[in-house]
Structure 1
Amino acid sequence: MTERRRILIAGESWTVHSIHQKGFDSFTTTEYAEGVRWLKDALEAGGWEVVYQPAHVAARDFPLTAEALSAFDSVILSDIGANTLLLHPDTFVRSKALPNRLESIRDYVAAGGGFIMVGGYLTFQGIEAKGQYAGSAVEEALPVTLDRFDDRRETPQGIVPKVSASHPIVEGLENVWPALLGYNRIWPKDDAAVVATVGDDPLIVAGTHGKGRSVAFASDCGPHWAPPPFVEWSGYAKLWQQIADWSAGRI
């Protein structure tokens, strides 16, 4: 029997507070949403057991130590800022000292774990540089270096990814993929492999840290940067399955 693979996804959730102004009067509404379903479905179809923590859950429940993270073959951060992992509620509210979870991710990868960062407004550096991963322990584990400022590249006209290197992550996928609507600008480290590009910039970069492997995917796994033609693309599931499998040393 094939051993069950476990992956932890943290992030890909948000809450929107709206003010409705109607003349003299106004009222507010609140909506909670998640953008993980395409990625989660793709990984589960590939045999992965997915443990999903929305951002507000990850703030408290994301594993504190590298040892706790070792329960997973790979870990994905997607559109979740560094502060959510740095400021555990017990630290922020009660001033309790706890492990630095960014350092725990780095140490987990160095010990042989798999790690994937997916782009968005709050990963890498993100909008107004609020992702805040530049200069952190997580950047040490990534196969890329990060800008210290807002690193978004908005491409509302669409930009088409292209495979740039032979690699297990893109094995069996067509060379030209559906267009994306934006991405984070990242810089590959010297020993990393640029697997796919968008224009002159990297889209997928793969590398190692210690005994483990890490992957940077510079765009989103769902809307808005990954529009319906991308998430409905026949190669979408295979791409994410192979990213996860490679990160965990399975291919």
Structure 2
Amino acid sequence: MSRVLIAGESWVTHSTHIKGMDTFTTSSYEVGVEQLRRALEGRGHEVRHLPAHLVPMEFPDDERALSQYDVVVVSDIGANSIQLAPGVFERARPGADRLAALRAWVGEGGGLLMIGGYLSFTGFEGKAAYRNTVLHDVLPVELLAEDDRVELPAGAQATVALPGHPALGGLDSAPWPHLLGYNRVLARPGSTTLATVNGDPLVVVGEHGNGRSAAFTSDCSPHWAPTAFCEDWSGYGQIFGGLIEWLAR
């Protein structure tokens, strides 16, 4: 059993409704982690979800706090939310560099997985912004300087390059359900690309110091990961379970 921290994968939607002369607003809170949580817990892993609105306040500050986990998953949460604790951003007080702590923790033997989304890798309009941080050095992929999203409305299937690799959890080269988008990245020299989509890296793994890192460049929930992929397909649990188990050694 591995102890897994998943940071991100939640959001608040605020809508304005206009009906003739009148308007009103509604808001909703949504979570996109449940498919991933179920898949990992189904393989015996202990999962803590840190929602996006709590990341600035509660993301682990140092290697000691990170050491209670075997793997940290960063999914659809930008670099600002991890770096800028309220004391730093709102009160201009120096604080911990949490991305530097995460990099050091991986170097000492931790496991890091980044999953794609609008606020992963470089992200929508460049707003995820990991390319400009020290965490870029840890990832097994190199990030683009511009908006890196690739939308695939008609869908595209993954191509498995190394079906026997343990990080794929036993999946063979049988066709995967279609994906509807991903973040475009470049495989870093020395990393291993396990699967591609649309000719670009989809699953990439690598080493960093004594630790390991991995990238899954599509999403773990809609819209890029439709229900046929993340709910109806047994291979979903194999992929993410395999990645977590490989990262945790």
Using the size of structure 2 for normalisation, the TM-score is: 0.97
Describe the SS at the equivalent of 2:26.
strand
1:199 has 2:160 as partner: no
Match in the other structure for 1:223: 222
Number of residue pairs matched by the alignment: 246
- Amino acid across the alignment from 1:100: D
Q: Which residue of 2 aligns with 1:8?
A: 5
SS at match of 2:57: helix
CA contact 2:113–2:216 (8 Å) conserved in 1: yes
Contact kept, 8 Å, 2:152 with 2:180, in 1: the verdict is: yes
- Structure 2 counterpart of 1:21, which letter? I
Partner SS for 2:130: coil
SS at match of 1:134: helix
Conserved? CA contact 1:163–1:170, under 8 Å: no
Cross-structure match for 1:51: 48
Matched to 1:205, the amino acid is V
Q: Distance in 1 between matches of 2:224 and 2:106?
A: 28
Provide the secondary structure at the position in 2 that maps to 1:244. helix
2:80 aligned with 1:83: yes
Shift in Å, 1:170: 2.0
Cα offsets for 1:190-211 (capped at 9, x unmatched):
1000000002100000001000
Query: CA RMSD for the aligned pairs?
Result: 0.9
Are 1:240 and 2:237 counterparts? no
Superposed displacement of residue 173, structure 1: 1.2
Query: How far, CA to CA, are the matches of 1:40 and 1:171 in structure 2?
Result: 16
- In the TM superposition, residue 145 of structure 1 has moved relative to its aligned partner by 0.5
Percent of aligned positions with the same letter in both sequences?
48
Contact in 1 for aligned 2:56/2:82 (Cα 8 Å):
yes
**CA-CA distance at 1:172 after TM superposition:** 2.4
Match of 2:70 among 47, 70, 73: 73
Greater CA drift, 83-92 or 8-17: 83-92
- Which amino acid in the other structure matches residue 181 of structure 1? L
Indicate which of 165, 168, 179 corresponds to 2:166. Answer: 168
For the residue of structure 2 that corresponds to 1:190, the secondary structure is coil
Structure 2 alignment gaps of length 5 or more: none
Using the TM superposition, give the Cα deviation of residue 37 of structure 1 relative to its aligned residue in structure 2, in angstroms: 0.2
Structure 1 spans left out of the alignment, 5+ residues: none
Instruction: Report the secondary structure of 1:8's partner residue.
Output: strand
Report the Cα distance in structure 2 between the residues aligned to 1:207 and 1:159, rounded to whole angstroms: 25
Per-residue displacement from partner, 1:127-179 (whole Å, max 9, x unpaired)? 10100001311111100110011000000000101111231112521312001
User: What's the TM-score, normalizing by structure 1?
Assistant: 0.96
AA aligned opposite 1:63: P
Aligned pairs (5 A) from 1:82-231: 82-165=79-162, 166-175=164-173, 176-231=175-230
